[in-house]
Amino acid sequence: MKLSMVSPFLVEKAITGSVGHVKSTKIRSGDLLVEVESPKQAKEISRIKALSTIPVIVKPHATLNSSKGVISCGELLNESEEKITEELKSQGVIHVRRITIRRDGQLLNTKHPILTFDSNKLPEHIKAGYMRLSVRTYIPNPLRCFKCQRFGHSKTSCRGTLTCARCAEVGHESTDCTRTEKCVNCKGEHTSFSRNCFAWKQENEIITTKIKKQISYQEARTLVKSQTPTPGNSYVSVAKKSISAPSAERNKDIATVSISKPSDSTTRSSPPITNSLNSSSPSVAPVSEEALASTDFTDFKPVSNRKKLKKNSPIKTNNTISEKISILHDLSP
C-alpha cells in the first residue's frame, strides 16, 4: 500500500499515539520525514513495526544525522582513505573521501580529505596521530542533474526529460552537439554546466547559506532569492528587506526520522536537509571543494581566526543526541 493512498489523519494519529507530537513532512520521494525532539522519542519510534494496520520498517536516515568537514594535512597524502577512516573512527569519523584534481589527463590526490562524522555537529579539531588538525565546514558544489540539467537532484532520481547541456534542446545528449550554446537554467548564451552561469552562482550561494546559517534548503533558497535584485527592485530595497528579516532560530537536539516505502527506492538520493544541524555548532570557516581543488596544494595553509588553544587542552567532541531513522512501507498485499 502506498503512503499516498493512506489517510494523512490516520498516519498522524498513529505516530502521535506511539511517540507523541512530532513534526512530519512528506518529501519528493514519497517518504514521510519525521523530526523527533528527544532521544526518547527517537528510541520509541525506532521500535514501531506498524502504524495502525499499516506495516512499516524503521531505519536511520542516511544523511541527516551526519556532517562533513575538511582537513588539510600533507602528512596524510600517502595514507589511504580506508586507513584514515579506521584511525579516526574513534573520533566519530565514518567516511573519508580525498579531494582530487585532474592535471594533464591524470587524476591527482590532494592533501585535503573530506571527513564525514556521525554527528550533525562538526568538531573544531581532530587528532591524526600526533597532529592536531582544524576541521572546516565542507561546502559541496551545486548538484546538477546530467539528464534534465536542472539543479537540486541527480540523474538517478530525475523525472524530467533528457536535455542537451550545450544547446538546451530536449531529446539528445551533449556529446556530439554542435549547436549554439544555451543554458537550460538561465537561458543565457553558455552551456548549462558553465561556472559563469547566474543560476549556478545563485545555487552555490543557496548551498553556502544553508550550511553557514544551518537552515533548510528551502529556507536558504527563499532567503537568497529575497536578497537577489529582480526587475523593478533596487539594491537598496533588497538591502532593507535583508536587514529587517528576522534570523531563523532552530530547535536544538532534533532527531530526524523518515517513513518511506520499501523497494528499490531505498537507494535513491537523499532529499535536501530539512532541519538537522544544531545552531550551536563551532564557528569554523566553510570551505568549498572547488576552492580547494583550484589552489596550489604545495604551499596551501588553512586560515583560522580562532584563538590558539593550549597544547594540553583536550580535544572537543560533540556528542549529539540526534538520531536518524527511516520507516519503510511493506508493499506486500
Tens digit of each residue's pLDDT, the chain (333 residues): 566 677 888 888 888 887 888 777 766 667 778 878 788 888 888 888 887 777 887 777 777 778 899 999 999 999 999 999 999 999 999 999 999 998 988 999 999 999 999 888 899 999 999 999 999 999 999 999 999 999 988 899 899 999 999 999 999 999 899 999 999 999 999 999 999 999 999 999 999 998 888 777 888 889 998 887 654 455 555 555 555 444 444 444 444 455 544 444 444 444 443 333 343 444 455 666 666 655 444 444 444 444 455 555 444 444 444 455 555 554 444
300 Cβ neighbours under 8 A, 6+ residues apart = 72, 111, 112, 292
pLDDT value for 280? 41
Within-domain flag for 281: no
Euclidean distance between CA atoms 101 and 107, whole angstroms: 6
3-state secondary structure of 329: strand
Within-domain flag for 126: yes
Residue whose C-alpha cell is 490516520: 10
Within-domain flag for 92: yes
pLDDT value for 60? 72
Q: Alpha-carbon Rg of the chain, whole angstroms?
A: 22
Angle in degrees, CA 186, 187, 188, rounded to 5: 90
The neighbouring-strand residues paired with 255 are 36
- For residue 261, give the nearest of 160, 332, 323, 157 by alpha carbon: 332
3-state secondary structure of 55: strand
pLDDT value for 325? 58
- Residue type at position 116: T
Count H helices, E strands: the chain?
7, 13
Within-domain flag for 30: no
- For residue 283, give the nearest of 127, 122, 133 by alpha carbon: 122
Within-domain flag for 315: no
pLDDT value for 261? 46
Within-domain flag for 166: no
The cell numbers describing 320, all together, are 549529539
Within-domain flag for 79: yes
154 Cβ neighbours under 8 A, 6+ residues apart = 143, 145, 146, 269
How many independent structural domains does the chain possess? 1
Euclidean distance between CA atoms 168 and 174, whole angstroms: 9
Domain that holds residue 76: 67-137
Euclidean distance between CA atoms 266 and 46, whole angstroms: 17
Within-domain flag for 25: no
Beta strand 54-59 with 324-329 is: antiparallel
Euclidean distance between CA atoms 13 and 42, whole angstroms: 17
3-state secondary structure of 252: coil
Beta strand 106-117 with 93-103 is: antiparallel
Euclidean distance between CA atoms 58 and 258, whole angstroms: 8
Question: Is 15 within 8 Å of 34 (Cβ atoms)?
Answer: yes
pLDDT value for 230? 58
Euclidean distance between CA atoms 84 and 91, whole angstroms: 11
